[in-house]
Amino acid sequence: MRESSKPTLESEPSMLEINNLNSGYGKVSVLRNVTFHVDQDEMVAIIGPNGAGKSTLLKTISGLVRAQSGEVKFENDNIFCLSPDQVVRRGLAYVPEGGRVFPNMTVLENLMMGAYSNQGILKTGILDEIYTLFPILKNRSAQFARTLSGGERQMLAIGRGLVSRPKLIMLDEPSLGVAPKLVDEIYEKIHALKRIGLTVLLVEQNTGYALELADRGYVIENGQIAMEGTASYLSSSDHIKKFYLGL
Ligand SMILES: Nc1ncnc2c1ncn2[C@@H]1O[C@H](COP(=O)(O)OP(=O)(O)O)[C@@H](O)[C@H]1O
Ligand SMILES: [Mg+2]
């Protein structure tokens, strides 16, 4: 069930390389020998059912969950043991599931939290760049985050991830909690991230959307990579059609 992905020359390592990663919570193993890569300028989707380990994977890469063994390399450096803020400073941002933001802080305060590991970055015009991408955040900048709709909260969570000027952004189920008619808008924004030069690792249960946008994808089932290939290859696979696209 595999199709070889874009060939990578030995001399050109992938931007993000995960090799034989094992991770979980205490004695509970969740991820088993997970191996995958994301090349610069790609959008890679990780799809899989609820409980498969998708969030655990992103949290492990971000340093929020301690890996048990394996390799996590970003721009050819081992980032396996780094703390979450060190990972952010390397240029990897993580946007948690469900557009989690601080409800009792304003939109602007939430965005500024994205600079916690590097306050100086706020002087570089990054907020204006984010407001260009998400004009609604500028209009709502003085409002408490709790007053935002699900879609606006998701945009705020993504905006906060962008404040650190990441090279690669990891999005955990950006369509979760967003009204169906706004999901298209969120996905347009995600597409825009790619256009402005970001590499994107997208986790989704919404397989149709993910495969429409992504260049390549991996299917994670029970903590293991079950399938991989280009988005068009995955979309046409019988397994994906039957179990993920309901066709
Ligand atoms: N903090 C935690 N402590 C213990 N087990 C957890 C924790 N978070 C998630 N799990 C378990 O890890 C497995 C994978 O969860 P998760 O990574 O959230 O899956 P997904 O994001 O694919 O839905 C599930 O069995 C879940 O119950
Ligand atoms: Mg999850």
Domain boundaries, the chain: 16-243
CA of 163 to the centre of ligand 1 (A): 28
Q: Which of 23, 25, 172 to mutate to test the pocket of ligand 1 (most atoms within 8 A of CB)?
A: 25
Indicate which residue's Cα is closest to atom 4 of ligand 1. Answer: 25
Q: How many helices (H) and strands (E) does the chain have?
A: 10, 10
At residue 6, does pLDDT exceed 60?
Answer: no
What are the phi and psi torsion angles at 145 (to 5°)?
-60, -30
CATH 3.40.50.300 fits 16-243, yes or no: yes
What pLDDT, on a 0 to 100 scale, did the predictor assign at position 9?
Answer: 53
What pTM was estimated for this model as a whole? Answer: 0.92
At residue 116, does pLDDT exceed 60?
Answer: yes
Is residue 7 very low, low, confident or very high in pLDDT (cuts 50, 70, 90)? low
Tell me what percent of the residues of the chain surpass a pLDDT of 70. Answer: 96
What pLDDT, on a 0 to 100 scale, did the predictor assign at position 11?
Answer: 60
At residue 5, does pLDDT exceed 60?
Answer: no
Which residues neighbour 175 within 8 Å (Cβ) at sequence distance 6 or greater?
Answer: 154, 183, 186, 187, 204, 206, 209
Tokens coding 181: 């008619």
CA of 122 to the centre of ligand 1 (A): 34
Q: What is the mean pLDDT of residues 142-165?
A: 95
Q: What is the mean pLDDT of residues 216-245?
A: 96
CA of 138 to the centre of ligand 1 (A): 35
Ligand that lies nearest to the alpha carbon of residue 52, given by its number in the listed order = 1
Tell me what percent of the residues of the chain surpass a pLDDT of 90. Answer: 80
At residue 10, does pLDDT exceed 60?
Answer: no
What is the β-pairing status of strands 16-25 and 67-74? Answer: antiparallel
Q: What is the mean pLDDT of residues 110-118?
A: 87
Cβ-contact 131, 210 below 8 angstroms = no
Tell me: the pLDDT tens digits for 65-92?
A: 999 999 999 999 999 889 999 999 999 9
Cβ-contact 63, 80 below 8 angstroms = no
At residue 160, does pLDDT exceed 80?
Answer: yes
Cβ-contact 65, 23 below 8 angstroms = yes
CA of 56 to the centre of ligand 1 (A): 6
Indicate which residue's Cα is closest to atom 6 of ligand 1. Answer: 25
Q: What is the DSSP letter of 101?
A: -
Q: Which of 55, 62, 66 to mutate to test the pocket of ligand 1 (most atoms within 8 A of CB)?
A: 55
What pLDDT, on a 0 to 100 scale, did the predictor assign at position 180?
Answer: 86
Who lines ligand 1 at CB under 6 A? 25, 28, 30, 48, 50-56
CA of 30 to the centre of ligand 1 (A): 7
Mean residue pLDDT across the chain: 92
Is residue 121 very low, low, confident or very high in pLDDT (cuts 50, 70, 90)? confident
Tokens 């400073």 locate to: 89
At residue 191, does pLDDT exceed 80?
Answer: yes
Give the ligand 1 atom nearest the CA of 59.
17
